[in-house]
Structure 1
Amino acid sequence: MTAKEAVPVRGSARTDDDFPVIRPADFTPAQVESGGKKRFLSPRALTVSGCLLISLMILLYLLIARSLIFETQPPDADVSVSGFALPLGDGHLVLPGNYKYTISAPGYRPKSGEVEVRKEGHSRHTIALERLPGHLQVISDPPVPVRILVDGSEVASENGLAKNIPPGPKRITLLSERYLPFTREIEIEGLDNTQELRAQLRPAWANVRINSNPPGATVSVEGRVLGTTPLNAELLQGDRVIRLSLPRHKTVEIPVAVTAGVDQTLASVDLNAADGIVHVVSNPVGASVTVNGEFRGHTPLELELSPGSEHRLRFFKNGYASVERTINVDSGLERDLNITLDPVYGRVRITSSPENAQVYIDGKLAGTTGETFNLPARSHNILVRKSGYEDFETTVIPSAKLEQSIRAVLLTAEEARWSKIPTEITHPAGGTMKLMRPNAQFTMGSSRREQGRRANEVLRQIALTRPFYLAVTEVTNREFRRFKRMHSSSHVNGISLDNDNLPVVNISWTDAALFCNWLSERDGLQPVYLTERGRVIGFDGAATGYRLPTEAEWAWAARYERGAMRKFPWGDDLPVRKNSGNYADSQAARLVPAVLRTYDDRYAATAPVASFAANHLGIYDLGGNVSEWIHDLYTIGTGLSMRREENPVGPQDGDYHVIRGSSWRHAGLTELRLAYRDYGADPRDDVGFRVARWVN
């Protein structure tokens, strides 16, 4: 029933039965036909949208991408870039980032790498590929094996083909036996290509004609036999030695300069008969051998002697009688010669002091001194030994014609030590010094009863045992100027004190001490005087360098003789003896107030050192000429003490130093005495010094 049918008609009365019952009906969805559906985007719209999207992406890529360009050598090389890279002209279009590349070309080594493309700009790179090595085929005329050198270094080759030669200009050298070197400059193009080099080789030999008399001699060069004479030989150029040998003839060697392509004929070579050979032995062995007066060597010996003449042979050896022989030899033959030498003896008597010492001859105990030994007439080593003494050693060659004597003076260890210490030395400034070995006890100073004595000459008991060197003369101007080049000793009233050989004067005690230190430094010795800013502030008594003599040393050297103390340089009495020294004599009358009127030493002021005789020790001018600075500081004792002073060196502190000895200004009894003592610190024109040093 439809809805229309269910509507009642107005005006009629109806009952419930008149109304029909409304019943639900089943729902079925409406079916829409396919042809009537509507789509959201049509295919055309989709196509247009996709094209727009792609165009947008391309535009975005073009805006972000940067060009990556490789300029290659060679230009036609292939370039491969990793990742998304659009080829564009000579390069690629790529997004910023890192890219790997490979560049290759035929005949070149490929090259790979990595580049970075930045946002800021385009990327351009220049890449040059390395050419592959080339190969060289050598074709020689004539076709002989050759060695190939490239720029002076030999390369491996096979049948004339040298492979893998780096490209570029090369100097090719071809070497072949018996041909001259061939050199050519060529350009190796490389690229794995093979080039040809044609070489015309020139012979490196010449023909040499060789003849000998007699013929048939074997010809060899550098150990290779070429044939027998007469012979045409092909010899390589250079300095050659041709050797000709023929039985029972002397072998001849001929130097020949061979030039390639220049043939030559040598002068005929005369082959002389060969020497005879004599094998010489002797008993004992080692005998010297002369042939016709010419020394040939020592036995055993092989002698080559010319045939056809006599030869005088002499054999000799120390301790044996010589032997002479005259022999003839045949050409090319050998013979033996045995020689016996008879020993020759000589008598040698050996004595010693002290006696009864042992005698060793050639290292073997032979007896005791006082004996006579019968020894072969050759060199022998003689050693004489005794307990407590140093060995005595010498050599001797006994003679059969006369008896020889050897006297061995044996020294104790102490004597032997002193025998090795020089008795005379020269200091660096040129002065001579003598060795002094005092072993004396003496009284220094003078008695109160002695005429002319001064109060400062107090008696002192001295024991002087320490050896020392003492200059034989005072230091001269020449010697001192090696230390101070500009020093001048000046003059006195026009009389020069400055000549080279005159004693240096006008120097202070400090000047003298510093001169001694300078000598020590020159000899590498420890300086004695301690200094500070050019001043002497003390001394080192243990140092072994140069110094001034101590007062005890000076007094011993000047006065001590045979256990007594001299009074004057010439003796113990007045008057002054002739030529005994340089004092205030008649020559000095215009310079000093008091002079020795009857004495003339020829010098008004200072005299050259060593102008007068030395004393008994060989020391000059300890009295006269100039007074001398002494090492010791000046002090005055209180009287003779019972205490004996051992090798005194004076105190460390004081204001003045001792001056000893008279000078050219002195003529009085007080000053002429060797006991005279003075003191000072400042320079004077009559005070010099001499040097000393202890023995190590």
Structure 2
Amino acid sequence: EGKNKQQIFDIELMPNWGELTIEATNENTTIRISSKNDKEKLLYEETIHGMKKVELISGEYIAHISKEKYKDQIIEFTIAAQQKLRLNSFELEYKDGILDISSSPTGSIIRVDGQYLGQTPQLVELVPYEEHDLELSSSGHQTINQKIKLEADVILKKDIKLKAKKGLVFISVSPKNAKLYINGQQQKENSGKFNLTGNNVLTVKSKSYQSQSKKIAISSYSKNISFILEKNNSSNTKKSSSNKKINKNALANTNYINSMGQKMIRVEPAIFMMGSKRNEAGRSSNEAEHKIQLSYAFLMSDKEVSNKQYREFRKSHHSGSSANQSLNLDSQPVVNISWNDAAKFANWLSKKESLKPFYIEKNGKMLPQNTNGYRLPYEAEWVLAARGTIQKKYPWSGNYPPGNVVGNYADESASSHIANTIANYNDKYSLTAPIGSYIKNQHGFYDLGGNVSEWCEDYYSPTAGLSANKIAFNPTGPDKGTHRVVRDSSWRDASIREVRLSYRTYSKKKTNDIGFRLVRYAR
């Protein structure tokens, strides 16, 4: 009003928080709440049972629900000022129990509840606290049937010896002077009745004749086995040698170049550590240290998929630009593609190479199936390819920052459009670099550190769910979720937190710094 007059205002402030009600059915359930915009910052943590009310500033949040021996849950929610929001009552599911089974003979077939689960030795994940029917069988041996019940998140070890079956085998051999070998041991007689057990290899040899071998498994009834050797000749010998070479190459499971020109590199089974140590500089809370066992070999492409390669699948794709510079050159890694887009590319390449696709498309979703087709790497596979069996901290040797140019990160050339860059570092590319521009790692992979971040197959979980003294066997992530794991730093990253090999994040949207590479199971 002015004129030196006193004015009185009555102002009532409105609360900018809402009330969240959480109900946990399980005892000792831990609730962790973080902001969706700053997921590394923990805002609330408490162990509860029953109902709990929490006041939160209006905004978007992520709730992580966990309990020992139970599978984690992730819930995203938005709360408005003065809103009363209730998260539906939830009941956590038990983590699987793990059956560590070996046998004599090794390679015995495992069936649980009638379902084939591979061969011994094997780690098998089963629903805990339920009775399961375990069956072990091997040709030439008596089948074993047992009832088993496992505890959640506990490894049960079983080493089972199968008894060899006994049976009669009648053997006849021609020519009469040929020698008979059973499991490498020459027999006094080459024909007649033999009492045998288990699995056996019968071999008959004679000078000037082609040797023959037959594998037999003993059963409860007698068997008649006959050998009629063929005389050697030079053409047959040459043809046989040629066939052996062809068969060997056909069955070989080594590095190869696929139809896109990508080199597929074999990575052997291994036991290794994922995550980071508690005192590691730059460590995030979602990097819990834990042990992994991958019992299978796999093949991973040595480079990220390029724009040129992706446009063979989808000609109209454009990776876009940033800071008035192109991300769309043929040699640059493809970006601005969703997880589904990457999975569809993998299926397309599988069909192109006459492989059974790994994904089934259903209601707009790409669902995995157990095939040998191309797919995205599981997070554990990515880590093994990037770090090996040692807990390597950075993609380079030494400390942070890198002393030499080792990859494409946010460098001095990007300082005009990226706030945080690595000082005194210039990799010559302010956006993405052509794939394979920098030194490869110890396994032969390029850009497992820098250039673009990479989609993984797993749904994201903030915690691994296993401690360092327990082992996760062939982990594939949660059964369902909303976000996928994203691994690797990119051309946008410069901080010690992001450039470490243990750094992990997630996304459900396509961005200009996320691409992908391909994987296949090895045969």
What TM-score results when the alignment is normalised by the length of structure 1? 0.40
1:677 alignment counterpart: 504
2:480 alignment counterpart: 653
Q: Note the 1:47-66 alignment, pairs <5 A.
A: none
> Which SS does the other structure have where 1:565 is aligned?
coil
Q: Note the 1:531-570 alignment, pairs <5 A.
A: 531-536=361-366, 538-540=367-369, 542-560=370-388, 563-570=389-396
Distance in 2 (alpha carbons) for counterparts of 1:556 and 1:641: 16
522-531 vs 496-505, greater mean Cα deviation:
522-531
Q: Residue by residue, what CA displacement relative to the aligned partner does 1:189-229 show, whole Å, maximum 9, x if unpaired?
A: xxxxxxxxxxxxxxxxxxxxxxxxxxxxxxxxxxxxxxxxx
Q: Residue by residue, what CA displacement relative to the aligned partner does 1:340-374 show, whole Å, maximum 9, x if unpaired?
A: xxxxxxxxxxxxxxxxxxx9997689xxxxxxxxx
Which of 334, 352, 358 is matched with 1:504 structurally?
334
Quickly say closer, same or farther: Cα 1:634–1:572, change in 2 above 3 A: farther
Quickly say closer, same or farther: Cα 1:535–1:362, change in 2 above 3 A: same
1:592 alignment counterpart: 418
2:253–2:522 Cα contact (<8 Å) kept:
no
1:361–1:380 Cα contact (<8 Å) kept:
no
1:440 equivalent to 2:267? Answer no
Distance in 1 (alpha carbons) for counterparts of 2:277 and 2:511: 29
Distance in 2 (alpha carbons) for counterparts of 1:360 and 1:512: 58
Give the Å deviation of 1:434. Answer: 1.7
Distance in 1 (alpha carbons) for counterparts of 2:392 and 2:362: 40
1:425 equivalent to 2:252? Answer no
Which of 558, 573, 576 is matched with 2:399 structurally?
573
1:686 alignment counterpart: 513
Give the Å deviation of 1:459. Answer: 1.7
Distance in 2 (alpha carbons) for counterparts of 1:544 and 1:614: 26
2:438 alignment counterpart: 612
Quickly say closer, same or farther: Cα 1:361–1:678, change in 2 above 3 A: farther
Q: Residue by residue, what CA displacement relative to the aligned partner does 1:601-622 show, whole Å, maximum 9, x if unpaired?
A: 1111100001011111111000
Give the Å deviation of 1:674. Answer: 0.3
**Which one-letter code corresponds to 1:646 in the other structure?**
F
2:401–2:422 Cα contact (<8 Å) kept:
no
1:107 alignment counterpart: none
1:621 equivalent to 2:452? Answer no
1:668 alignment counterpart: 495
Quickly say closer, same or farther: Cα 1:524–1:652, change in 2 above 3 A: farther
Distance in 1 (alpha carbons) for counterparts of 2:488 and 2:307: 19
Give the Å deviation of 1:393. Answer: 6.1
> Which SS does the other structure have where 1:527 is aligned?
coil
Q: Note the 1:635-646 alignment, pairs <5 A.
A: 635-637=461-463, 638=465, 640=467, 642-646=469-473
2:411–2:430 Cα contact (<8 Å) kept:
yes
Distance in 1 (alpha carbons) for counterparts of 2:466 and 2:294: 20
Q: Relative contact order (alpha carbons < 8 A, sep ≥ 6): 1 or 2 greater?
A: 2
Give the Å deviation of 1:571. Answer: 2.1
**Which one-letter code corresponds to 1:427 in the other structure?**
N
Give the Å deviation of 1:419. Answer: 8.7
**Which one-letter code corresponds to 1:626 in the other structure?**
V
1:469 alignment counterpart: 299
Q: Note the 1:305-316 alignment, pairs <5 A.
A: none
Distance in 2 (alpha carbons) for counterparts of 1:547 and 1:467: 14
Distance in 1 (alpha carbons) for counterparts of 2:403 and 2:208: 59
Q: Note the 1:100-139 alignment, pairs <5 A.
A: none
1:633–1:656 Cα contact (<8 Å) kept:
yes
1:453 equivalent to 2:283? Answer yes
- Number of aligned residues: 296
Which of 417, 429, 443 is matched with 1:603 structurally?
429
**Which one-letter code corresponds to 2:484 in the other structure?**
H
1:625–1:664 Cα contact (<8 Å) kept:
yes
Q: Residue by residue, what CA displacement relative to the aligned partner does 1:13-39 show, whole Å, maximum 9, x if unpaired?
A: xxxxxxxxxxxxxxxxxxxxxxxxxxx
2:466–2:472 Cα contact (<8 Å) kept:
no
**What stretches of structure 1 move > 6 A for 4+ residues in a row?**
359-362, 379-383, 416-419
Identity of aligned residues (%): 39
2:411–2:426 Cα contact (<8 Å) kept:
yes
Distance in 1 (alpha carbons) for counterparts of 2:381 and 2:299: 10
**Which one-letter code corresponds to 2:368 in the other structure?**
F
2:307–2:329 Cα contact (<8 Å) kept:
yes
Distance in 2 (alpha carbons) for counterparts of 1:362 and 1:695: 40
> Which SS does the other structure have where 2:341 is aligned?
helix
1:530 equivalent to 2:360? Answer yes
Q: Note the 1:60-459 alignment, pairs <5 A.
A: 420-436=251-267, 438-459=268-289
1:362–1:382 Cα contact (<8 Å) kept:
no
Q: Note the 1:476-515 alignment, pairs <5 A.
A: 476-515=306-345
**Which one-letter code corresponds to 2:353 in the other structure?**
D
Q: Between Structure 1 and Structure 2, whose CA radius of gyration is higher?
A: 1
Give the Å deviation of 1:530. Answer: 2.5
Distance in 2 (alpha carbons) for counterparts of 1:526 and 1:659: 26
Q: Residue by residue, what CA displacement relative to the aligned partner does 1:380-403 show, whole Å, maximum 9, x if unpaired?
A: 9999xxxxxxxx969xxxxxxxxx
Gaps of 5+ in 1: 1-358, 366-378, 384-391, 395-410
Quickly say closer, same or farther: Cα 1:636–1:360, change in 2 above 3 A: farther
What TM-score results when the alignment is normalised by the length of structure 2? 0.52
2:350 alignment counterpart: 520
Distance in 1 (alpha carbons) for counterparts of 2:206 and 2:449: 53
2:81 alignment counterpart: none
2:457 alignment counterpart: 631
